[in-house]
């Protein structure tokens, strides 16, 4: 029979057995050693044997993980710290005074041996601790050995709450698939709360994927709902995924849209859209094709920048080249009621031209030597001109004068020229060719 009384307490009040395949349940065991008798006892040591394993009668599978401490509380001398050794091979803890001597255990004095961070065995049941006592009734008497037993209960582990609800990819690119995962016990019933408020069932342990073509089209928040079938207690976790290119069915409503730092922005006003750059000045809009009923612009330029442009002035349009000077308009056909021009020339630099003096029209051939040469004029009713017309060769030509005279010239091979004249008041012909 022991001289002291032994009692065990645990925190939690009933230790929860660990669940296989999941993180261990931990608890604290307090062994109270009290002198409930009327006479003093002289205590030398206690050796507490702990059943090691994962069976129903075991306390813990690994005694080396337990932190053991001890204190002696005396009504007369106060509190002293005891020396507690973990004997792993023996599966026990030994508590004694640091001096290795005896401690007077007066009636009402007590000792507390604390075993913290105890990983609890997986099987529910009753674990019994065996406490070997070494003590005597006198300070110089030989210590006797006796054994006491104390028991504690391991209850079934409660379902743990799920944790770490997360997507495989928090930012989804085009074509990526959404996969949500979490950590949690398998005996809970799981559902996924979708962004539209509906629920989706979970068919795979610890993960969920939306049906094809039902994934998010913009940033979305999902809710994991874990329900304990036995108690109906629920746990809620949320996670959010983002899309690099979201879709908004009803459009985006904003008075201003800004790009990244250093870029332009769009502002929406009562008349339309205003495009500006990062400093607020008018910006650029680039498009492959623009369809509009009306385009208002002060100037239209070609691409790349600076190859020419059209400016709209109060007098009409002005076409300019890269240096800002007068440019050329090239087209297959121009239809107009009236064209006002001083001179019209063919497309080449040495092509002929037509000038418009007050008296009519003047036709010139190519300006090869910077000196204009008159070309041909064909008309149905006649020719009225006070200039010279070549007859197809530089050796024969006709001069027409304002007085109606026709001067005919012929240059011989020797370089001399003969002249003739013809005076007419009118010539009627279907065609005159020169």
CATH number, domain at 187? Answer: 2.60.40
Same-domain pairing of 294 and 275: no
Same-domain pairing of 228 and 274: no
* Residue 161 belongs to some domain of the structure: no
* Residue 336 belongs to some domain of the structure: no
Same-domain pairing of 181 and 219: yes
Is the pLDDT at 378 greater than 60, yes or no? no
Q: Which of 73, 71, 70, 66 is nearest to 27 (CA)?
A: 66
* Residue 160 belongs to some domain of the structure: no
pLDDT of residue 380: 43
pLDDT of residue 393: 54
Same-domain pairing of 316 and 399: no
* Residue 234 belongs to some domain of the structure: yes
Same-domain pairing of 273 and 320: no
Look at the chain and report how many structural domains it folds into.
5
pLDDT of residue 413: 72
* pLDDT, average across residues 375-390: 50
Same-domain pairing of 64 and 130: yes
* Domain enclosing residue 319, as ranges: 287-329
Same-domain pairing of 33 and 12: yes
Same-domain pairing of 10 and 120: yes
Considering 99, 131, 155, which residue would you say is the last residue of a domain?
Answer: 155
Same-domain pairing of 179 and 205: yes
Same-domain pairing of 11 and 131: yes
pLDDT greater at residue 163 or residue 415: 163
Considering 224, 243, 262, which residue would you say is the last residue of a domain?
Answer: 243
* Residue 162 belongs to some domain of the structure: no
Is the pLDDT at 426 greater than 70, yes or no? no
pLDDT greater at residue 360 or residue 166: 166
* pLDDT, average across residues 17-45: 93
pLDDT greater at residue 361 or residue 70: 70
pLDDT of residue 425: 56
Is the pLDDT at 430 greater than 80, yes or no? no
Q: What is the CATH number of the domain that holds 28?
A: 2.60.40.1530
Is the pLDDT at 279 greater than 90, yes or no? no
pLDDT of residue 327: 63
167-176, 190-199, 238-247, 375-384: lowest mean pLDDT where?
Answer: 375-384
* Residue 433 belongs to some domain of the structure: no
pLDDT of residue 119: 97
* pLDDT, average across residues 92-102: 97
pLDDT interval class at 368 (50, 70, 90): low
* Residue 434 belongs to some domain of the structure: no
pLDDT of residue 427: 54
Same-domain pairing of 258 and 228: no
Rounded distance between C-alpha atoms, residue 185 and residue 160, angstroms: 6
* pLDDT, average across residues 343-355: 80
- Mean pLDDT, all residues of the chain: 85
pLDDT of residue 265: 85
The DSSP bridge partners found for residue 81 are 71
pLDDT interval class at 155 (50, 70, 90): very high
Considering 92, 123, 155, which residue would you say is the last residue of a domain?
Answer: 155
pLDDT of residue 390: 53
* Residue 338 belongs to some domain of the structure: no
Same-domain pairing of 28 and 134: yes
The tens digit of pLDDT for each residue in 193-225 reads 999 999 999 999 999 999 988 889 899 999 999
The tens digit of pLDDT for each residue in 72-87 reads 999 999 999 999 999 9
């Amino acid at each position: 029979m022991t001289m002291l009384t032994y009692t065990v307490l645990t925190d939690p009040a009933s230790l929860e057995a660990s669940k296989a395949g999941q993180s261990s349940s931990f608890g604290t065991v307090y062994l109270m050693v009290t002198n409930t008798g009327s006479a003093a006892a002289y205590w030398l040591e206690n050796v507490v044997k702990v059943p090691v394993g994962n069976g129903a009668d075991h306390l813990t599978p690994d005694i080396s993980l337990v932190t053991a401490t001890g204190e002696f509380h005396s009504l007369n001398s106060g509190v002293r710290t005891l020396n507690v050794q973990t004997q792993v091979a023996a599966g026990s803890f030994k508590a004694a005074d640091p001096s290795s001597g005896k401690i007077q255990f007066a009636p009402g004095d007590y000792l507390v041996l604390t075993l913290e961070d105890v990983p609890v065995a997986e099987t529910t049941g009753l674990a019994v601790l065996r406490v070997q006592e070494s003590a005597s009734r006198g300070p110089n008497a030989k210590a006797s050995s006796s054994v006491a037993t104390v028991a504690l209960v391991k209850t079934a582990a409660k379902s743990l709450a799920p944790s770490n609800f997360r997507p495989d990819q928090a930012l989804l690119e085009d074509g990526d698939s959404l996969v949500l995962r979490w950590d949690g016990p398998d005996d809970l019933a799981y559902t996924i709360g979708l962004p539209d408020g509906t629920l989706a069932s979970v068919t795979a342990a610890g993960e969920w994927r939306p049906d094809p073509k039902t994934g998010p089209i913009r940033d979305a928040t999902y809710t994991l709902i874990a329900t304990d079938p036995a108690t109906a207690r629920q746990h809620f976790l949320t996670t959010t995924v983002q899309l690099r290119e979201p879709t908004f069915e009803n459009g985006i409503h904003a008075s201003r849209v800004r790009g990244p730092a250093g870029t332009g922005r769009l502002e929406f006003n009562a008349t339309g859209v205003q495009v500006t750059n990062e400093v607020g000045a008018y910006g650029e809009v680039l498009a492959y094709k623009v369809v509009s009923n009306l385009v208002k612009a002060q100037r239209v330029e070609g691409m790349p920048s600076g190859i020419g442009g059209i400016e709209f002035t109060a007098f009409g349009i002005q076409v300019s080249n890269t240096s800002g000077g007068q440019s050329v308009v090239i087209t297959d056909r121009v239809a107009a009621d009236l064209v006002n021009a001083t001179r019209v020339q063919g497309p080449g630099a040495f092509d002929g031209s037509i000038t418009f003096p007050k008296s009519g029209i003047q036709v010139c051939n190519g300006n090869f030597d910077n000196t204009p040469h008159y070309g041909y004029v064909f008309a149905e009713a006649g020719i009225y001109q006070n200039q010279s017309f070549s007859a197809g060769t530089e050796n024969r030509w006709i001069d027409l004068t304002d007085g109606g005279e026709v001067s005919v010239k012929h240059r011989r091979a020797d370089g001399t020229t003969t002249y003739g004249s013809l005076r007419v008041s009118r010539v009627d012909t279907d065609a005159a060719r020169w």
